[in-house]
Structure 1
Amino acid sequence: MESFFLALSKYLMITYMAIYSIMCFQAAGAKTKENIKNIYNSQNILIFLLHFTGFLVIYINKPEQKIINLYGLQLLYFIIVLAVFPMLYSTLNRLLLSNMCMLIAIGFVMITRLNYDKCLKQFYIACFATTLTIIVPFMISKISLLKDLTYVYGIIGIVMLGIVFVLGRAVFGAMINIRILGFSFQPSEFAKIFFVFFIAGMLSQSTRFKHIFITTVFAGIYVIILVLSKDLGGALIFFLVYLFMLYAATSQFLYLFAGLAGGTGASIIAYKLFAHVRVRVAAFKDPWSIIDNEGYQIAQSLFAISAGGWLGTGLCKGMPDKIPVVEKDFIFSAIAEEFGGIFALLLILVCMSCFVAFIRTAVIQKKFFYKLIAYGFGIAYVVQIFLTIGGSIKMIPSTGVTLPLVSYGGSSILGTIIVFSIIQGITVLARSQEKNAVNESDVEDVTVGYSDFTDNNKYKTAKKAMRQIKKK
């Protein structure tokens, strides 16, 4: 019976993910609130099913009580998150909330399979992050002072990156971490949040050339510190976020093309200056000729993806632990090996659904400051997805960035949950603005008509309409 379930489990998980992915895009075209509610409830059930199936397979392969305990704690976490957030914020983006939980669930399953202790740590950080950010949507939707702290955001971000440059420790050639009280901490994940707020604040004030020049100088300081720290993956994300936020604010193709040309030149210079960049490019170009050294990681990643095929080897049936740092930079390869290529493609669709939700939030937001924030975080998110997956499949050289919410990494999951909460806050604010605009329009229409009424029946009709509006 166990062997039958283990063989069946990979098909079940692909099915869960396929249905879930389809529903992500069905929700956008749903006509009624009842249909939308049914879609979200069905997605939540699929999250629980996938999470349960994954942990059951892990327990069958390694029957230890701690696996059951961890599953129970994570189950409670998902129940609370999916129940409490909609209760507190009735107008939040339920699809984005479900997607966040689905991605975290996939990460929990895969990291537990790879390293139980690391998943336990990841779980604690996810709980802390979710508890910390539960008030973020309220702050974004209620505190108007946030848009007046532009230079504070810019300076805090630079200080955070500067501390790493001075006190950080090298990880695979890049100075990206500092250690505080025994915990490894990656400040660039949080500096990215301050960076987006700073750029949004500056560009929402003015898009005159002088103002853009000052903004560019600040953005350049961020990128230069990251380059000097040899965190070129982070530098690329910051650079592209600024470039596309600038284009969104100005609609000037000249800035976009000039920035891309400058970025290309900077990449060539970085290749000449940094040995570890040349190593990664060499591994990208021909990993097989240096498979015993620099090309080993990407070669093992390609072996894993190839071994999985479309349907996967099955959870706990592959060898993803042969890939160095698999739970961080190459978790996509581990998922593709054991869950299969179809599942991996569906995972990309869920990530793209998050990106679309970010951009739609920017579109519906009327305040330019918050519109730019949503757009900037959307760009940061999709660029990070591209860099992680592109490096895993040898589309681009490996940059050492993580897959948001899925990869192991405390700073990564904490920073990403904060970003998702900020987007939820902007969504709540936008829908509140829409509701107020509709109510004001209705009151104005009824008031204008009321002034012309001389007929007693029309007078009563107008009063009834006014009462209904007040109830809304």
Structure 2
Amino acid sequence: MENIVFQLSKYIIIIFTTIYTLYCFTAFRSANKVRQRNIFHKQSLLMYLVHFICYGLLFLDSKNIKVVYLYFAQVAFFILVKLVYKLVYKKLSAYILNNMLFLIMISFVILTRLSFDMVIKQFMIVGASFGICLVVPVIIEKFKYLSKLGWIYGFVGLSLLLLVLVFGTTKYGATNWINVFGILIQPSEFVKIIFVFFIASLLSDYKEFKDLIKITILAAVYVLVFVVSRDLGSALIFFVTFLIVLYAATKKSLYLFSGFGLGSIAAYIAYFLFSHVKVRVTAWRDPWTYIDKEGYQVAQSLFAIGTGGWFGLGLAKGLPNSIPVVESDFIFSAISEELGAITAICIILICLSCFVMFINIAMKMKKEFYKLVALGLSTMYIFQVFLTIGGAIKFIPSTGVTLPLVSYGGSSALSTIIMFSIIQGMYVLNQNEVGNSERRKTKKEKIQKADEQEPERE
């Protein structure tokens, strides 16, 4: 009987997740605010249903009453976040909030499946992150001088990276962690946001070509620091983000294509300079020949995805812990194995819909600085998603980056929630500007109407 429950439930999870994903895109098509609100309410209901089914299965598998307590704590957390955010920000984007919570819900489910202690830590970090980020949209809306601190952003971010390079801890071949009172923190996750503010601030206000050279030199130093610390995944994310924002600010395709050309040459050189890069490329090219050594991680990832098939083995019915570092770099493989390729594809589409929404917000921003910040954060987000999933399915060599909001990692979770909150703040700012513009227009029309009626009364 229990086995039947597990088998049926996986199809129900797939159906609910698919419907949720379809709503992500139908919400874009509707200009009717009432219809949009109904869609968002339905999405919330679907999220709670998927969450309930998943934790019910996890309890049936483990018979651990702590899983039930954790489930109710998470439900309370989701409800509290929705209530508080809607209370504080009257014009927030329910679209962004829903997708952020859905991805976090998937993270909690998979991490509970992998390690109960791990999900407790992640739950506490995510909860604290939402509390911290509650003020981010206020800062975006109220602090008008954020666009004037370009060089300060640049040197503060670089100082943090140099600090890690000197005093940092090496993990998985890269020196990108720092130990603070026994807690490992990855400052590069937060430097990503500072870096975007740095390039957006300066590129939105550049005057001459020499200004572009100065900005490019400092941005190149960021990338070189990552190369020296052997964190090539982050180096690639920073490099691509800079090129996209540079192109958006200058509208010159020459910068974009020449940058990618130089980046390709640099990647080729890195293959010969760094042994761990050579190992990852070897594992990517032929994991089966080197399955006992270099290719073991990629091979196990492909086994998991292939074994799961379209519908998955069912939650708690696979062997995701056989994949090294599954909780961070290869969590997409764990999702594919137990929840199926259809659910995994839905996760990709939800991430893609977030990116589309971010770009939509960027295009609507009137101030160039905010436009470039939104574009930079959008690029960083979707490119990191691409690198993580691409590495898990052997589309590209593994780069050792996490899947935002889904993978285990306190620094990654906090920085991504900050990124989403910044975009949320820009959405609120744009809504307020639109509202003020409409009020001014209405007031002007009333004055004109009154002036037209004045001669008639005379």
Please, what TM-score do these two structures have when normalized by structure 2?
A: 0.98
SS of match in other structure, 1:339: helix
1:77 is the counterpart of 2:73: no
Distance 1:247 1:435 in 2: 31
The reply on whether 1:339 has 2:326 as its aligned counterpart is: no
> Could you tell me which residue of structure 2 aligns to residue 182 of structure 1?
182
CA RMSD of aligned residues (A): 1.2
| Counterpart for residue 59 of structure 2 | 59
The letter for the 2-side match of 1:34 is V
Letter in 1 for 2:253: F
Residue 73 of structure 1, CA deviation: 1.2
Q: Structure 1 residue 33: deviation in Å?
A: 1.6
Distance 1:54 1:366 in 2: 43
Q: 1:444 Cα shift?
A: 2.1
Q: 1:22-171 maps to which residues of 2 (within 5 A)?
A: 22-171=22-171
Offset from partner CA, 1:261-296 (integer Å, 9 cap, x none): 110011011111101100100000001111000100
Match of residue 202 from structure 1: 202
1:293 aligns with 2:296: no
Question: Partner of 1:312: helix, strand, or coil?
Answer: coil
- The one-letter amino acid of 1:447's match is I
Distance in 2 of aligned mates of 1:215 and 1:91:
35
CA drift of 1:4 comes to: 2.4
C-alpha displacement at 1:142, in angstroms? 1.2
CA displacement at 1:455 relative to structure 2: 5.4
Correspondences of 1:354-433 after superposition (within 5 Å): 354-433=354-433
SS for the counterpart of 1:453 is helix
What's the secondary structure of 2:311's corresponding residue? coil
1:282 aligns with 2:282: yes
- Structure 1 residue runs of 4 or more that deviate by more than 6 Å after TM superposition: none
Partner SS state of residue 289, structure 2: helix
How far 1:200 moved relative to its partner? 0.5
Q: Which amino acid aligns with 1:181?
A: F
1-structure distance, mates of 2:439, 2:82: 30
Q: Deviations over 1:159-217 (max 9, x none)?
A: 11111111111111111111111111000000000000000100111253111111101
Match for 2:139: what amino acid?
M
Check whether the contact 1:140–1:426 (CA below 8 A) recurs between aligned residues: yes
Deviation for aligned residue 1:93: 1.1
2:302 equivalent in structure 1: 302
**Match of residue 255 from structure 2:** 255
Structure 1: where are the runs of 5+ without partners?
Answer: 460-472
Deviation of the 1:436 alpha carbon: 1.2
Partners in 2 of 1:207 and 1:406 — Cα distance?
A: 41
CA distance in 2, matches of 1:104, 1:11: 21
Describe the superposition over 1:297-353 as per-residue Cα deviations: whole angstroms up to 9, x where unpaired: 000000000000000000010111100000100000000010001111111000001
For the Cα contact (< 8 Å) 1:207–1:249, is it kept in 2?
no
C-alpha deviation, 1:95, in angstroms = 0.6
Counterparts of 1:77 and 1:117, CA distance in 2 = 18
Displacement of 1:456 in angstroms is 5.7
1:443 to partner: Cα distance: 2.0
Residue 240 of structure 1: how far off its partner (Å): 0.4
Q: 1:351 aligns to what?
A: 351
Task: State the secondary structure of the residue aligned to 1:340.
Answer: helix
* Distance in 2 of aligned mates of 1:371 and 1:346: 28
Equivalent residue number for residue 192 of structure 1: 192
In the alignment, residue 123 of structure 1 is paired with which amino acid?
F
- Alpha-carbon distance, 1:143 to partner: 1.2
Paired residues of 1:161 and 1:225 also in contact (CA < 8 A): yes
**Structure 2: 5+ residue stretches without partners:** none
- SS across alignment from 1:178: strand
Distance in 1, Cα, partners of 2:249 & 2:86: 32
What does the per-residue CA deviation read over 1:3-49, in whole Å, with 9 as the maximum and x for residues that have no partner? 32211111111011101001011111123221111111111111111
Which position in structure 2 is the counterpart of 1:467?
Answer: none
Q: What SS does structure 2 have at the residue aligned with 1:170? A: strand
1-structure distance, mates of 2:321, 2:396? 22
Taking the aligned partners of 1:50 and 1:125, their CA distance within structure 2 comes to 22
Q: Distance in 1 between matches of 2:58 and 2:432?
A: 44
**Equivalents in 2 of 1:317, 1:290: separation in Å?**
27
Q: Which amino acid aligns with 1:116?
A: F
**Deviation, structure 1 residue 426:** 0.6
Q: CA deviation at 1:372?
A: 0.5
Q: Which amino acid aligns with 1:384?
A: Q
Q: Deviations over 1:235-265 (max 9, x none)?
A: 0000000000000111100000110011001
Name whichever of 45-54 and 293-302 sits farther off: 45-54
8 Å contact kept, 1:207–1:250: no
Q: Distance in 1 between matches of 2:316 and 2:207?
A: 54
Tell me the SS of whatever aligns to 2:177: strand
What is the one-letter code of the residue matched to 1:386? F
For 1:156 and 1:92, locate their aligned partners in 2 and report how far apart those are by CA, in whole Å.
30
Is contact 1:392-1:398 (8 Å) kept? yes
Distance in 1 (alpha carbons) for counterparts of 2:53 and 2:393: 27
Instruction: Answer yes or no: is 1:440 the counterpart of 2:430.
Output: no
Secondary structure of the 2:288 match is helix
Q: CA deviation at 1:454?
A: 3.3
Counterpart residue number, 2:173: 173
| Post-superposition offset of 1:71 | 1.1
Name 2:315's counterpart in structure 1: 315
Aligned-partner Cα distance in 1 for 2:268–2:406: 31
1:312/1:337 contact within 8 Å kept: yes
Instruction: Supply the distance in 2 between the matched residues of 1:83 and 1:43 (Cα, whole angstroms).
Output: 16
What amino acid does structure 2 have at the position aligned with 1:256? L
CA contact (8 A) 1:196 1:373 kept: yes
Counterpart-to-counterpart distance in 2, 1:166 and 1:74: 39
User: 1:469 maps to which residue?
Assistant: none
SS in structure 2 at match of 1:288: coil
Identity between Structure 1 and Structure 2 (%): 48
SS at match of 2:175: strand
Shift of residue 153, structure 1, vs aligned partner: 1.0
